[in-house]
Amino acid sequence: MNETNQKMSADDLEALLPWYAAGTLDRTEADQVEAALAADAELERHLELVREEMNEAILLNEALGVPSARVMENLFKAIDKERKTARTPAQGGLGAWLRDWLTPRTFAFAAGAAVVVILLQAGIIAKLSLGDRSEGGSSFETASAPSPTRGFEIGAFILVRFSPQASMADVTRFLDSRDAVIVDGPRPGGPGGMYRVRVSRTYLGKDELDRLVREFQSSNLISMAVPTE
């Protein structure tokens, strides 16, 4: 290495000192700087100057304080305002649409709407069922695909009343995780009504059904659960 190269190398190392002091060099560069510092007292002195500058720059910036509360107020007002503006997937892409849609407020509204849909569906199921019975039949039919099968009648069932604070999402998650499905309801029986939930596609013994009932009862989403036919 000739004299010029040594000088260049020293300049490069000197230029890296601010980042070395800030701890933002990658390991390779930091190692090179450390090796040079160990061998060069003048470079070490320059590093001290850099540290002085850094300390004062930090103090200066910290002394600038923080923004007032109005910034956050204005920001979230603006966000709320934009959220109120109808946004479709085509305008903002699926990600943007989902991001907007999945706000607590809209989520709660959507959950409520979903409950209405479910209740309506359950009502249709119940009506179909009653209709069948009045005509001498005795089986349930799915609302989406009426058929002569008796699929929903086979299995094990629990009569459930959901807690008023249970959201549709929570209920869906709870039932899905147990492969359970609402097959009827709401039936009279207190606020929100009672729902007949199929908890197994096959018949379950009393002990197993009781265990599931206890599991349902232990959930804070459910205010009441009893075995049913």
Partner 1 sequence: MQVLFARHQARVYRFVLRLVGNQAMAEDLISEVFLDVWRQADRFEGRSAVSTWLLAIARFKALSSMRRKPEEELDEEMAGAIEDNSDDPEVSVQKKDKSAALRRCLQLLSPEHREVIDLVYYHEKSVEEVAQIVGIPEATVKTRMFYARKKLSELLKAAGIDRGWP
Rounded distance, CA 178 to CA 53, Å?
A: 62
Which residues ranging from 128 to 187 are in contact with partner 1 (CB under 8 A)?
A: none
- Of the CA atoms within 13 Å of residue 43, those in its CB half-sphere come to 22
Shortest CB 25 distance to partner 1, Å:
7
Pick 14 or 170: Cβ nearer partner 1:
14
Pick 46 or 178: Cβ nearer partner 1:
46
At 34, which helix (H) or strand (E)? helix 27-39
Measured CA to CA in angstroms, residue 34 lies from 16, 25, 29, 141, 198 at distances of 11, 11, 9, 78, 70
- Which span (48-56, 120-128, 157-165, 185-193) binds partner 1, by CB under 8 A? 48-56
* Of the residues 10, 32, 46, 174, which one makes contact with partner 1 according to CB under 8 A: 46
Residue 59 engages partner 1 in binding (rule: CB under 8 A): yes
The arrangement of strands across the sheet holding 181-187 comes to 181-187, 194-200, 156-162, 222-228
Shortest CB 70 distance to partner 1, Å:
7
| Site residue total, partner 1 (CB under 8 A) | 44
At 48, which helix (H) or strand (E)? helix 41-62
* Of the residues 34, 44, 56, 176, which one makes contact with partner 1 according to CB under 8 A: 56
Which residues ranging from 69 to 108 are in contact with partner 1 (CB under 8 A)?
A: 70-72, 74-76, 78-79, 82, 93, 95-96, 99
Amino acid at 89: P
C-beta atoms surrounding 76 within 10 Å: 10
* Of the residues 23, 136, 148, 164, which one makes contact with partner 1 according to CB under 8 A: 23
* Of the residues 6, 7, 8, 24, which one makes contact with partner 1 according to CB under 8 A: 24
